[in-house]
Structure 1
């Protein structure tokens, strides 16, 4: 687990990224570099959280924590 300045920096970066995502969504702009998360969203809807995390990692190369954070955000309707 990360503590201290790096943790604070990662939290701040996550907030900035979320704000940018909201702006893009509001303007109707799709991020061309963003991976298609349709499969991940479908797995979340089916209640298959672990499979959704795994699918996200395979699609993006994200770390386990990053993938879990994205899946949690999808579950909570933040993404």
Structure 2
């Protein structure tokens, strides 16, 4: 009985690992496709001379920077744009110069 339970648990763990690996592979594939589309869109925008519009609410980020509240400015930038921490930090640092 214990052997049957052990084998069942092992099979479930193995199946979970296979499913997780499959899902991770699909997520990576979708991320690669999104990156390629993003690069293509950037090329099209550059070719047409279109720049990305400034996110609404950026004046609040500038105000926080002027007030010396850089970390809060980064948090607000992340909320406004949905960007990651590094991208937001880089963008806020660019704004501060």
Q: TM range, normalised to the smaller chain?
A: 0.5 to 0.7
Structure 1 stretches of 4+ moved >6 Å: none
Q: How does 1:33-48 map to 2 (within 5 A)?
A: 34-36=54-56, 37-48=58-69
Q: Whose radius of gyration is greater, 1 or 2?
A: 2
Unaligned runs of 5+ in 1: 1-12
More helix by share: 2
Unaligned runs of 5+ in 2: 1-38
Q: Deviations over 1:20-44 (max 9, x none)?
A: 7xx87xxxx882xx31211111100
Q: Matches of 2:91 and 2:64 in 1, distance apart? A: 13
Q: Matches of 2:89 and 2:83 in 1, distance apart? A: 9
Q: Normalised by the size of structure 2, how large is the TM-score?
A: 0.45
Q: How does 1:1-79 map to 2 (within 5 A)?
A: 31=53, 34-36=54-56, 37-76=58-97
Quote the RMSD (CA, aligned, Å): 2.5
